[in-house]
Amino acid sequence: MSKIVDLVRGFPGHPSHPPLTDASIGAYTVGVAMLILGALGVERSQMAEGSLLAISGGLIVAVPTALTGLLDWLRLEKGTPKRTVATVHLLTMVTATVLFALTWVLQRPGYNHGHILTRTWIVALVAEAVLAVGGYLGGTIVFVYGERVEGATQASLADALRPGRIAQSSGPGSGPV
């Protein structure tokens, strides 16, 4: 079973979770952009349909994205700042996914009738904001703490969340992260 879990998580230097996040974040963002454009009157019917399809794609990809993220999270040492950031990232991304699922439910009638309801694009914008916060935290796990990256650093929680506070002492890309 351990070999299967390792295969799902990806290989050293090539984890599965980050590229999956790119796919779901991209799909969600396109869906939100279409909702806003449609609400502004740009190709309203097409945007009503396209937004639901894009958000559907994001929700589908969210399943393997969450699975690979959970497998990575389970391997983090408890009680560390990295685990704390990862836990908040996990909860934030679950919240974003629930909000995008709600957006999907709200937009479903608009898909059939070629319109976008105000409440739909408002919920979508909130979901996108929560998604951005979750993405920032996910980036902190990788780019500050170096999770699944060789030569990882240990940083305090306060330093990890402040841009420009962490500097590597040597090697390519030295300087503020």
Task: Note the pLDDT of residue 45.
Answer: 94
Q: Which domains does the chain have, with CATH numbers?
A: 2-165 (1.20.120)
Question: For residue 11, is pLDDT > 80?
Answer: no
* Confidence at 150, pLDDT banded by 50, 70, 90: low
Q: Which residue from 65, 67, 79 is spatially nearest to 135, judged by alpha carbons? A: 65
Neighbouring-strand partners of residue 167: 176
d(CA 72, CA 42): 41
The arithmetic mean of pLDDT across residues 58-83, rounded, is: 95
pTM of the complete model: 0.82
- Find the range with the poorest average confidence among 13-17, 42-46, 118-122, 143-147: 13-17
Q: Which residues contact 96 (CB under 8 A, 6 or more apart)?
A: 28, 127, 130, 131, 134
- Phi then psi for residue 176, to 5 deg, are -60, 140
* Confidence at 13, pLDDT banded by 50, 70, 90: low
Classify burial at 158, counting beta carbons within 10 Å of its beta carbon; exposed 0-12, middle 13-18, buried 19 or more. Answer: exposed
d(CA 31, CA 26): 9
